[in-house]
Copies of this chain bind each other. A is one copy, B any other.
Amino acid sequence: MGADNQQERLNAEWITGFVDGEGCFYVGINRVEKARLGWQVLPEFRVVQHKRDEQILERMCSYFGFGSVEVNHGDRKEFRVRGLDNLNKLVEFFTEHPLHTKKRMDFKLFSQVIDKINRKEHLTKDGMKEIAEIASRMNMKVIPRFLESSETIRRGRETAKI
């Protein structure tokens, strides 16, 4: 089997299939006192595997030419992509090679968030709220703490009065 050579470059469609199964597009919104609004958006892409399959994460990393392989938790490792430049390249990749499962919807929402960050909308409260709302519709239905914070709730009420 040719693929016994583990250094062989992966195929783009293989990556799309693997990510349809194992990938995760995630947008964290975290309390960071020093940030302009007191909140920071942290979009990231992850593929988690048991450490016995670390080689495949390394090969994905080589394929893309960015990201890193880190410990996820216990015996698990992750290929992780952070940083706007890298995530823009990732969005370009999955736009050219579309996902086929429901994960495509997560990707669509994720790319909307990246687009808003490209436009610096995350630096305004309205923009941040929109991002949080998009993020709340993604994968595991994580409700960003930003949306639950008193600031947002207060702001929501004020808006309602208008």
Contacts and interface: CB of A to CB of B under 8 A. Distances in A.
A14 B95 contact: no
A134 to B, nearest CB: 18
Contact of A102 (B4, B22, B53): B53
| Chain A, interface residues (CB within 8 Å), range | 20 to 34
Nearest to A11: B13
Contact of A21 (B3, B18, B100): B18
Interface in A13-72: 13-22, 49, 52-53, 56, 59
A13 to B, nearest CB: 4
A56 B14 contact: no
The 7 A-B residue pairs with the shortest CB-CB distance in the complex, in nearest-first order:
A17-B17, A21-B21, A3-B98, A13-B13, A17-B18, A14-B17, A21-B22
